[in-house]
Structure 1
């Protein structure tokens, strides 16, 4: 029986920039950084949940054929890949204010939702 999700993949165009954002801005920790030759296996996780990893994955061969990878990279650039991960916080407004002060750009302010 499946008991949870341990790794969720997020496409990024530049792993170092993504790493800097997740670690320096969001406060995540690196859980793996492995040069596999054909790719860099780079995962991060919140310090409070080290078993909930996000794989910062560059869309490229051998995981995707180059033509498909180019299309995915273009979609990432356009912001058209949909929700990559939903993050949790105890105080949405305070977290928003903190991240805004660190220079994070948001598409909209936090609003109460029925869900």
Structure 2
């Protein structure tokens, strides 16, 4: 039986830019990095203790290895305890952010990574 989400695959065209974006602008940490069999992948997460991580794969390499895979960007919703602070931090680093919106489940905004993939962040109470 499945009991948690372990990793999310994110296929990117430039792994170095993706690592820079997620670590320097969003504050994620590199959990692991592997390089073998003609592939390189980087595991990142909000913290080293996170149960779920994102694996940054080279889109071109994966497309050649497994042309049947859907290499589109997953629709991810992150959470934060301080939406305003995160919004300001991203905006100050020239990250494209959408406006903060009130939803029935709480306040939320979206942001784009260095490849113009969009992700959302929702505020969760402490």
Which has the larger strand fraction? Answer: 2
Q: 1:88 aligns with which of 79, 88, 99?
A: 79
Structure 1 residues 97 and 10 mapped into 2: Cα distance closer, same or farther (>3 Å)?
A: same
Q: 1:91 to 1:4 in 2, by over 3 A?
A: same
Once residues 82 and 34 of structure 1 are traced to their aligned partners in structure 2, the CA distance between those partners, rounded to angstroms, is 22
Output aligned runs, 1:1-115, within 5 Å. Answer: 1-47=1-47, 49-61=49-61, 63-65=62-64, 68=67, 72=71, 81=73, 83=75, 85-106=76-97, 108-115=98-105
Map Cα deviations across residues 69-91 of structure 1 (whole Å, 9 max, x no partner): 9x95xxx6xxxx462x2111112
Gaps of 5+ in 1: none
Q: As a proportion of its length, which structure holds more helix?
A: 1
Structure 2 residue runs without a partner (length 5+) = 106-126
CA distance in 2, matches of 1:37, 1:48: 26
8 Å CA contact retained: 1:31, 1:50: no
Query: Number of residue pairs matched?
Result: 104
CA contact (8 A) 2:12 2:57 kept: yes
Superposition TM-score, scaled by structure 1 size: 0.76
TM-score for both structures, normalised by structure 2: 0.70
CA drift at 1:48: 6.4
